[in-house]
Amino acid sequence: MVANRGAVIVLALSKEPMPIPTMELVHREIKVAGSFQGSRKDVKDMLAFVEQYKIQPWLVKVQFDQINEAIELMKKGTARYSIVLEAGSQEPVIPASAKKAGAEQTEAARAQVKTTSIA
C-alpha cells in the first residue's frame, strides 16, 4: 500500500513480468522508481574504495538555528548537493514510543540511531 502522491521504490528483480496499474498511478499521482545497489561484494568493494581514497560526501552542514542561511544557499544554488541540518545536541532523538517501551528497547533504538546518522 502507498499513500496518494507517495512513491514506490523497487529494490528487487523479478524473473516474471510485473503488471503495473497505470490508471491508479496516474489518478493517485504515485511515483515508481528503481534502485539497484549491486551484490554484497559490490557494496563491500565500494566501501573499501571509499576508505582507501578517503572519499567524503559532498554536503554542507548547518546548525539548525541557521536554517534561514541554509535556505539561502539552496536558493542561490551554492550548496554542494545536500544540506544537513544539525541539532544543537549530538544526542539522538528517541521517539516517545521507544521511551515507553522500556530501557532495553530505548538503548537499542539509541544504538540504531547512532549507527544510521550522518556524521
Domains of the chain, residue spans: 1-37
pLDDT digits over 6-61, tens only?
898 887 778 888 888 999 999 999 999 988 878 889 889 989 999 999 988 888 88
pTM: 0.35
CA separation for the pair 94, 56 (Å, rounded): 27
Cell of 102: 522500556
